[in-house]
Structures are given as structure tokens and as C-alpha cells.
Amino acid sequence: MNLNILGRIIFFIVIFYATVFAQFAEEQTVARVGNKVITKEEFLERYEFTPRLNNAGGSTSESAELDFLYTLIAEKLWAQESEALGSDTLEIMKFSKEEFEKMFVRDALYKKEITDKIKITDAELLTGYFRNETKLEVNFLFSEDKAEIDKLYKMLTGGVLFDSVLTARPEYEEQATPIEVVYGQMDAAVEDSLYKLNLGEYTTPIFTPDGWYIFRLTNKVESVLNTTADLEDSRSSVEKIIKARKSQELYRKFYADYFSDKKVNVNPVLFESFAGKISRRFKWKKKNSLVSDSNLINLLADDVLFIENQFGADSLKQNFIEFDEEPITLKKYIRMLAFDGFSASDYRITYIRALLDARTKYLIEQELLAREGIKRGYNLLPGVRAEINMWMDNYQFQILRNQFLDSVSVSDDEVYTYYKTRQKAESYPQLVNVIEILTDSLSTVNRILKAISEGADFRELAGKYTKRDWAKKNGGEFGLFPVTSHGEIGRIAATMNVGDIYGPLAVPGGYSIFKLIDKKDSTTIKPEPFEKVKDEYKRELAYRKLRVKMNNYTTNLAIKYGVSIDYDLLNSIEVTNINSFAIRRLGFGGKITAVPIVAPNTDWVNPWLEKLKVLQ
């Protein structure tokens, strides 16, 4: 072994651990919005993990950070007004807050019981370094039968050459060249056995979920760490592998210990009735072509209401999960299932029953873990409260915004008056054409964005993944449409350049990622008959009125509650220009987007600034 390399590795380990320290500082406030604040931490986290316009020309707006802050301020303003109007007393809001609290409490419990207990010794790091820089080439003998593998092992110990045994075996065809093994690829115990071998040596029979193996070390390839960067990359890789293995080990132990004495019953009559109702509802959706053959059948809000109406108020009040304390009613169970997301590829009762059985077991475990965390007071941790408040602010904003979507009406007289103003020359708004990928799966969103970053063809991805059936046959292409159509997709597309990609954007049905492929300026042509354009004009007027109403509302809220911005702090925040989207995997299961996703919202700012001047 090269002693110089060993000396450098040990020196690096000592230096690395000597420089690790904890920093605690009071949270800095970027903006105050009435009684709400946007901290530096929230701004940075949401800025980095909120998708922004992907500029085909590679340029970035110097005001991107300020524009994003204005978007967050608008969200906080609407959230505060929503609370003032009593939305936080709504059943759905109380339920959502409780579920978010459980989610982040479980994550805090996982950190305490798993993450914080991971300790990596210098010896483990050093062993990992050497193994990480050593690739093994092995051959193997395999059998599902223990008696057969013992017989093969006896032949080897009796002097028969490994290659002679291997060439007579069916697994020989898989090993035209030796199999390469890298650090972290295999089970830790199997890996440990392999790295202890000298060239030409073989292991005793090793049992795995597949069957029994005997490995022979055929070759060993060692690389050299020449630079500090090499050492840092190796350290990062090794730490990640060791942490993952220790996490799994600690999780298995905690799970076995914690659930060993836990027993919770489920009301069997209600369970069977609920399974039947879901089966019939999903069958109806499938038979009525509400779900394509290739898509999962999802439990949606209207399905929940339909099934709840079938049960009736008395049944919904009955206990479904029979905890000793605070049992969960059937209604709450159905809402929890829908909140967590429930889908099936088949509507047959046997399949639904088995799927519900597994999901109910999972929900019981999740509930017990959340209750354990709350018992320990983790729901009061500042980090947990901040997470809950951030998500609930976004929910409050959405609740009030959705009320506005139904608040705008346009009369036929207004439409005709609008038509008359354009009678001599019909002006069409700017037209755009996009290719869209619509999915309701966060995992699919992540996979799509990764493929895009690697240069995959957007149209091919749309043809494969989009769930918007009418566009799927055209590879996700919409065809030219006015920017006043398709809600936020049209509005955002109007600000993009051809070739730009935006998303994911939360839309009805899931998450939308779209690419602008064509853009045409507004045109003027001879007027069409009123009846032919009536509906289009009505939508256009409604959209305009809605945008004006919402912008005015936001402006007035900014005056009502007050907004102050620490521009010096904002300018000091270092951000990246990487357009990223992340899924946060939570401790003990579950995943959400890393932050609440918001669409750009800055049209209210200039009117607000003008009003401030008048008031001053």
C-alpha cells in the first residue's frame, strides 16, 4: 500500500472532522407582510426549488429574486386575508393542518431516532475510502437449493478447480466476462466477504433473497486519489453509502422495537363496505371512460363525496380504526386516505380489498408514529412549526383564490358591447402553441425534468407521459391558442420565448410541464358573426376581469396589512441560476414537493407602489 496516499487520507479525515461545527443564528426577515414574515431561510429554499422560466437564450432577469419575493408576498397577503375571513375554521383547513403537522412530526421523529443516531467512525471511513477506490471482478456459482450449493462447495474444498465447476454450470453463460462489483452495490455482509478475499479465493456459500452464491475473486483494480478534489468526492460518496446502510439498520431496529407490542383493530364491517363502494365507484369510472385503459384510477374529491353520501352521516361517525385513545372515524379515515393519495390499476373487489388492507396498515403505523412524535413535543419544534405555517399559508392562499375563480361573471350585454368595439376589425390576441406533459405523479415530474436536463426530446416525453388524452395523440401538442385560454398556462406562455420550458405548474389534474414551440402576434381580420365569437369573447372578458380584480385585491391587501422589505438582506442572499425541482422524501415514508409551488404573480406591484406614493 502506498503510505503517502494513506497519510493524505488520514490527514484529510482529521481535518474534515475538525472543521465540523454547529451554527445557530436568529432567523433573518426578508419581508414583513402584516403579521406574517418571509424569512431568509424560506425565501432561499422556495426560490431554489420553485421552477422558473427556462430561458432558451440562457439569459436571466436581474430582478428575478425581487419578482419572486413579490410573488411570495402576494401569497402571504391572500393567506392573511383568508384567515381573517375565517377559512382557518373550515373543516378542510383544520384537517389539512393536522395532516401536515403529523407529516412533519414524523419527519422530526425520524431525524431524532434515525438520522441523529448515525455515527461514522474514522475506521469505517478509512475502510470505505479504500473499498470505494477498489473495483472487484468476481465469478460466482449459484443455486436455489442449499444441498446443491453445499455439494459444489465440497467439490471446491476437495480440490476441483473453480473454473472447472463453473463451466459446467448454467450460470456460466452470464459470465463471459467477470462481474464487476463496486463499493455500496451489494448487501454490506456480502460485500464484506468479497473485499476480504485474496485473488483466486472464494467465499463459503452465502444466502441471499435470490438463493445461494459462492463468489470467487478474479481480479482487483485499484485507483489512486491524487488531488484534494478526489478525496472530497470520495469522502462524499463513502459517507452517503455508510449513512444509507446505517439508516436502514437503525430503521429496522426502531421499527421492530416500537411496533412489537402495538395492536390496533379495524372495524371489519365498515372495511368491507368501504372496499365494495370503492370497487363499484372505480368500475363506474372505468366503464364510463373517465379513466383511460393505461391510467390508474384515482380517488378524487368527487369520489370521496359520493362515497360519503352513500354511507350517510351515522356510519361516517362510527369508529373505523379502533385506537385505545382517540379512535379514527370512518369519515376521517376516508379523508386521510384521499389526502395521502389512493389509486388502483384494477377495480375488482379482491384487488381493492388487498390494496386497502395494505394501505390501512400503513396509515395505522403512520398515525402511531405521529402520535409518538406529538407525545414527545416535536410538534412544537420551531422547524416543524415553520414547515406547517409555510404550507398552510399556501393552502389559505389557494382557498381564497379558488373563490375568486367563481366570482367573475360576464353578461351577454357586456360581451356584445365588447364585440361592437371590435366590429370593424377583429383583433385576435397573441397566439401560442405548446407541447405539454401533464402528470399527477411527483415521481414522474422528477423523472421528466431529469430527462429534459439530459437532452431528451420533449415531444417524445409528452407522448409517453402526458395524461391529457386529447393532446396525447399529437405528442402533447395543443395547437395554436390565444394566451387568454388555458388559464395560467396561456398567461405564462405569453411571457416565454420559443424554445423555453416551464414547469411544473400546479393545474387541475396534476402538474403541467410545457414547452413553447410557436408564438404569433395578435392579428386583425374581418369581424366574425357575434354568435360565432360570443363564447370566446366571454372567456376573454372573464379572464381580464379576473386578473384585474385579483391584482386590485392584492394591491388593496398590501395597503391594508402593510408590506416592508429588507432590500439589503435580499441583495445579500446568494442564489443559484439552476432551474430545479425537488421531491422531499419524509422520514418514515411519504413525499411532497420540496416547497409549495407558486406561479409568478407581480402585476399588482406597480399599482401598489403608486398608491403608496399617493398615501405618503
pLDDT tens sequence across 296-306: 899 998 999 99
Strands 297-298 and 501-507: unpaired
Residue 54 is predicted with a pLDDT of 56
Say how many Å lie between the first and final Cα of the chain, rounded. 76
Instruction: Give yes or no for a cis peptide into 327 (omega within 30° of 0).
Output: no
The DSSP result for 50-90, as a single string, is S---B-TT----TTHHHHHHHHHHHHHHHHHHHHHTTGGGS
Per the model's pLDDT, the better-predicted residue between 574 and 527 turns out to be 574
Residue 317 has pLDDT above 50, yes or no: yes
Residue 369 is predicted with a pLDDT of 97
Domains in the chain (CATH in brackets) are 3-88+564-615 (no CATH), 134-222 (3.10.50.40), 412-563 (3.10.50.40)
Residue 5 has pLDDT above 60, yes or no: no
Encode pLDDT of 151-169 as tens digits. Answer: 999 999 999 999 999 999 9
Q: Distance (Å, rounded) from C-alpha 399 to C-alpha 393?
A: 10
Over range 567-581, report the average pLDDT: 87
Residue 364 has pLDDT above 90, yes or no: yes
Encode pLDDT of 109-132 as tens digits. Answer: 999 999 999 999 999 999 999 999
Residue 62 has pLDDT above 80, yes or no: no
85-89, 362-366, 378-382, 384-388: least confidently modelled range: 85-89
Residue 394 has pLDDT above 60, yes or no: yes
Residue 201 has pLDDT above 50, yes or no: yes
Total Cβ atoms within 10 A of residue 330: 22
Total Cβ atoms within 10 A of residue 273: 16
Average pLDDT, the chain: 89
Q: How confident is the model at residue 522 (pLDDT cuts 50, 70, 90)?
A: confident
Distances (CA, A) of 68 to 18, 27, 29, 429, 598: 38, 20, 15, 27, 9
Per the model's pLDDT, the better-predicted residue between 57 and 263 turns out to be 263
Residue 6 is predicted with a pLDDT of 39
> Which H or E run contains 465?
helix 458-465
Residue 1 has pLDDT above 50, yes or no: no
Encode pLDDT of 469-478 as tens digits. Answer: 899 989 999 9
Per the model's pLDDT, the better-predicted residue between 611 and 7 turns out to be 611
Residue 53 is predicted with a pLDDT of 62
Over range 84-89, report the average pLDDT: 92
Q: Distance (Å, rounded) from C-alpha 290 to C-alpha 278?
A: 15
Residue 48 is predicted with a pLDDT of 92
Task: Answer whether 39's CB lies under 8 Å from 29's CB.
Answer: yes
Backbone CA torsion sign across 555, 557, 558, 560: positive
Residue 529 has pLDDT above 90, yes or no: no
Q: Distance (Å, rounded) from C-alpha 605 to C-alpha 465?
A: 37
Q: How confident is the model at residue 11 (pLDDT cuts 50, 70, 90)?
A: very low
Give the burial string for 144-177 (b: 16+ CB within 10 Å, else e). eeeeebeebbeebeeeeebeebbeeeeeeeebee
Over range 603-616, report the average pLDDT: 90
Q: Distance (Å, rounded) from C-alpha 171 to C-alpha 142?
A: 7
Residue 10 has pLDDT above 70, yes or no: no
Encode pLDDT of 415-440 as tens digits. Answer: 888 888 876 665 678 899 999 999 99
Q: Distance (Å, rounded) from C-alpha 332 to C-alpha 234?
A: 48
- Residue 81 cell numbers, joined: 386575508
What is the 3-state secondary structure of 400-431? Answer: HHHHHHCCCCCCHHHHHHHHHHCCCCEEECCE
- Residue 330 cell numbers, joined: 370512518
Per the model's pLDDT, the better-predicted residue between 34 and 27 turns out to be 34
Encode pLDDT of 439-478 as tens digits. Answer: 998 889 999 999 999 999 999 999 999 999 899 989 999 9
Over range 596-605, report the average pLDDT: 93
Residue 344 has pLDDT above 90, yes or no: yes
Q: Distance (Å, rounded) from C-alpha 63 to C-alpha 83?
A: 30
Q: Distance (Å, rounded) from C-alpha 355 to C-alpha 344?
A: 8
Q: Distance (Å, rounded) from C-alpha 585 to C-alpha 232?
A: 26
**380-386: long-range contacts (C-beta < 8 A, 24 or more apart)?**
381/108, 383/108, 384/101, 384/104, 384/105, 384/107, 384/108, 386/39, 386/41, 386/42
Residue 96 is predicted with a pLDDT of 92
Residue 73 is predicted with a pLDDT of 98
Residue 483 has pLDDT above 80, yes or no: yes
> What is the identity of the amino acid at 230?
D
Strands 319-322 and 212-222: unpaired
Residue 309 is predicted with a pLDDT of 96
21-25, 179-183, 320-324: least confidently modelled range: 21-25
